[in-house]
Amino acid sequence: MPEAILEVKSLRTVFKDKHKELTVVDGIDFEIGPNEVVALVGESGCGKSMTSLSIMQLLPRSAEIAEGEVRYRGRNLVGMKNKEMAKLRGRHISMIFQEPMTSLNPVLTIGMQLTESIIRHLGVSKVEADTRADEWLKRVGFPEPARIRREFPHRLSGGMRQRVMLAMAMSCRPDLLIADEPTTALDVTIQAQVLDLIRELLKESDMSVLFITHDLGVVAEMATRVIVMYAGQIVETTDVRSLFQKPMHPYTKGLLNSTPRMKGDIEKLIPIAGSVPPAGMYPPGCRFADRCPLAEAVCRAEAPQLREVVPGHRVRCHLA
Amino acid sequence: MNVAVSPNNNTVARKPKNRAWERFKANRMAFISMFILIGLVLVAVLAPWIAPHDPAEQDLLNKLKPPSADHWFGTDDLGRDLLTRVMYGARVSLAVAIFSVIFNLLIGITVGSLAGYYGGKTDSILMRFVDIMLAFPQFFLLITVVTLLRPNLFNIIVVFVLFGWMGKSRLLRGQILSLKNREFVDAARTIGMSDFRIIFRHILPNAIAPVIISATLQMGSMILTESSLSFLGLGIQPPQASWGNLLQSAQSLTIMTKAPWVPFIPGFMIFLTIMCFNFIGDGLRNAFDSK
């Protein structure tokens, strides 16, 4: 296997105040290889976004990385000077967010925001940056880029803004794109449009993507490998095909049963009972035990380890 | 529906700035005030060339004369032309207002931005310093410092700058606190922008409107404060004219009864200017407020 673009090693991220420490990401390990699309899946509050912010070193002030490493092409990003990190952000690692409506600055034109990172990271002239911005706007599907460049964000729709965000994220040709629920806030047709676009951009470049989502439909469409997170831990990780064909963790099965599908004989969607326990209130055994239909005595007594059940397929469950 | 935007029209989007300008123009009082102020500033700047007399030229035979063709605003108790003195006074009053507010803005914006953006210790230290500065009764502090220094134009501006920036920094800090966690700021960080650029390019333009409004209103109050100081004899010293010391020199009962225009005209100028700044401040507030 060629060298990984991103390696996350036993990452533990905590929220901290004077009195206590809350672990929200609890010992996560994964790798992203070149040109790989890895989906990070899980319910709200399972630590997906905190993982992505830990990678970018953009955690909120109250949170910090307590343990572990985040290596980009071998360089550890944890503890890196902010100045160094700023050189990587946008240039080598980019990110797009869930809310395109609020991710663009309302008082600057699209062009100003788009050329900013091009000028900063690639050191080209204003005119050259404008040309490149136009190229990117064209690639993300704006037929009249020069006009869009002069527009302010409020004149664009959500889908248009997300495409602008994508152009911004791509404009310096990063190796790694972190897409944090990029389609959640968009309606379905626009979702498809944005996903198609990401796929197309992937084909043209050898970029890797960390795709954070809770939409398994999107996972099936985009990802090569899937990481399922629950309560701050990885509970299952495998390639996309075996995840859908042979899910092993009861949580993953639950997620699949609660997702509508066009084919198949599922008549009713079966929800997973209960909700994710809040950080700091985890049960001593398996964190999913209280919601698990299969839970046995051992599940409540002993915390399961993530183990490789089938080559390439790792599961954190006693029963798998 | 006349502003509906068809997808293929070729006009550039009207900038938020332009719409603000249109709303400002629609506010008649603010718009008129703006022209009056521009006129006043022009007169003040051009005073040495357009004033009909020399501001210090005395004519004791013609003292306290009512307005006439030669002396449009009449003459004061030393026979000096009041129109000329009011014109020269405008230079002082407007210079104090404009320069002290500009430097107030510079300090206030810097302190407010740093405190708001970095938070934590930086914020605590800077804001406690602001609290300390605000704890002194401003006007008495001004009087004390002006008495210690020599009361001339430069010193007065310095003192006004030293004791006038705190409100702005507080205002801006609050704005920045509410803006710095917005997603577009995170987005700017994810494309690797420096803190400096994030503060001044991304956050400040979103936060500056209330600060500008407050600065406009402060211009009025600076003029009033300068006039009060001069009225107490602690501001600009005669024979240099300021609106405040023109009023002061018109305090005697004789002048007030025999030549009421002598106190009235500088008083009216102070009133007019402050009104203008307040109307403009109001107009700006409405213009920036898109709700």
Distance from CA of B278 to the nearest CA of A (A): 26
Is there a domain that residue A314 lies in?
Answer: no
| Confidence check: pLDDT of A255 > 80 | yes
User: Taking a C-beta distance cutoff of 8 angstroms, is the pair B168, B221 a contact?
Assistant: no
Is there a domain that residue A181 lies in?
Answer: yes
Q: Using the beta-carbon criterion (under 8 Å), do B184 and A106 form an inter-chain contact?
A: yes
Structure tokens at B77: 């108790």
Neighbours of B120 (CB within 10 A): 9
Q: Which residue of A has its CA nearest to B16?
A: A107
Interface probe for B, chosen from A105, A108, A136 (most Cβ of B below 10 Å), is A105
| Confidence check: pLDDT of B186 > 90 | no
Q: Which residue of A has its CA nearest to B183?
A: A103
Is there a domain that residue A196 lies in?
Answer: yes
Rounded to whole angstroms, the Cα distance separating B115 from B129 reads: 11
The residue whose two tokens read 């405190």 is: B115
Domain that holds residue A214: 6-230
Q: Please name every residue paired with A176 in a beta bridge, in sequence order, or none if there are none.
A: A93, A208
User: How much is the pLDDT for B39?
Assistant: 92
| Confidence check: pLDDT of A263 > 70 | no
Is there a domain that residue B163 lies in?
Answer: yes
Q: How many CB pairs lie under 8 A apart between chains A and B? A: 86
User: Taking a C-beta distance cutoff of 8 angstroms, is the pair A111, A133 a contact?
Assistant: yes
User: How much is the pLDDT for B290?
Assistant: 57
pLDDT band at A265 (very low <50, low <70, confident <90, very high): low
| pLDDT, average across residues B35-41 | 92
CATH number at residue B30: 1.10.3720.10
Residues from chain B contacting residue A61 (CB–CB below 8 Å): 119-120
Tell whether A241 lies on the interface with B, counting CB pairs under 8 A.
no
Is there a domain that residue B10 lies in?
Answer: no
pLDDT tens string A180-206: 888 877 788 888 888 888 888 888 888
Closest CA to A176 of A35, A9, A13: A35
pLDDT tens string A61-109: 888 898 899 999 888 998 888 888 888 898 899 988 887 778 888 888 8
DSSP 8-state assignment for residue B53? S
CATH number at residue A215: 3.40.50.300
| Confidence check: pLDDT of B243 > 60 | yes
Is there a domain that residue A248 lies in?
Answer: no
Nearest to B186 among A58, A107, A108 (CB): A58
Is there a domain that residue A279 lies in?
Answer: no
DSSP 8-state assignment for residue B203? I
pLDDT tens string B193-236: 888 889 988 898 888 888 988 998 888 888 888 888 888 888 77
CA A110 to each of CA A105, A113, A134, A162, B181: distance values in angstroms, whole numbers, following the listed order? 9, 5, 11, 12, 20
**What does residue A176 show for φ and ψ, rounded to 5 degrees?**
-135, 125
Is there a domain that residue B126 lies in?
Answer: yes
Residues from chain B contacting residue A108 (CB–CB below 8 Å): 201-202, 205
| Confidence check: pLDDT of A272 > 50 | yes
Interface probe for A, chosen from B6, B191, B288 (most Cβ of A below 10 Å), is B191
Rounded to whole angstroms, the Cα distance separating A200 from A139 reads: 10
Distance from CA of B230 to the nearest CA of A (A): 43
Rounded to whole angstroms, the Cα distance separating A64 from A16 reads: 7
Is there a domain that residue A293 lies in?
Answer: no
Distance from CA of B189 to the nearest CA of A (A): 8
Q: Which residue of A has its CA nearest to B17?
A: A107
| pLDDT, average across residues A106-133 | 90
Q: Which amino acid is at A264?
A: G
Is there a domain that residue B262 lies in?
Answer: yes
Beta-sheet pairing, A63-72 with A75-76: antiparallel
**What does residue A136 show for φ and ψ, rounded to 5 degrees?**
-65, -40
User: Taking a C-beta distance cutoff of 8 angstroms, is the pair A259, A216 a contact?
Assistant: yes
User: How much is the pLDDT for B76?
Assistant: 74
Domain that holds residue B158: 21-48+72-288
**Length in residues, chain A:** 320
Is there a domain that residue A127 lies in?
Answer: yes
pLDDT tens string A214-250: 888 888 888 999 999 988 889 999 998 888 888 899 9
Closest CA to B253 of B245, B262, B241: B262
Element (H, E) at A66: strand A63-72
Neighbours of A158 (CB within 10 A): 15
pLDDT band at B7 (very low <50, low <70, confident <90, very high): very low
Rounded to whole angstroms, the Cα distance separating B76 from B82 reads: 6
Q: Which amino acid is at A130?
A: D
Structure tokens at A180: 């944090």
DSSP 8-state assignment for residue B65? P
Beta-sheet pairing, A75-76 with A307-310: unpaired
Structure tokens at A3: 């060298």
The number of folded domains in chain B is: 1
CA B198 to each of CA A42, A116, B81, B194: distance values in angstroms, whole numbers, following the listed order? 32, 11, 54, 6
Nearest to B192 among A90, A102, A150 (CB): A90
Is there a domain that residue B110 lies in?
Answer: yes
Q: What percent of chain B has pLDDT over 90?
A: 20
User: Taking a C-beta distance cutoff of 8 angstroms, is the pair B61, B69 a contact?
Assistant: no
pLDDT tens string A11-52: 999 988 878 888 888 888 999 988 889 999 988 778 888 898
CA A301 to each of CA A4, A289, A291, A308, A320: distance values in angstroms, whole numbers, following the listed order? 36, 10, 15, 21, 17
Is there a domain that residue B88 lies in?
Answer: yes
CA B36 to each of CA A303, B41, B94: distance values in angstroms, whole numbers, following the listed order? 78, 9, 13
Tell whether A121 lies on the interface with B, counting CB pairs under 8 A.
yes
The number of folded domains in chain A is: 1
Q: Using the beta-carbon criterion (under 8 Å), do B13 and A61 form an inter-chain contact?
A: no
Tell whether B189 lies on the interface with A, counting CB pairs under 8 A.
yes
Q: What percent of chain A has pLDDT over 70?
A: 97
Strand, helix or coil for residue A210: strand
Q: Using the beta-carbon criterion (under 8 Å), do A117 and B182 form an inter-chain contact?
A: no
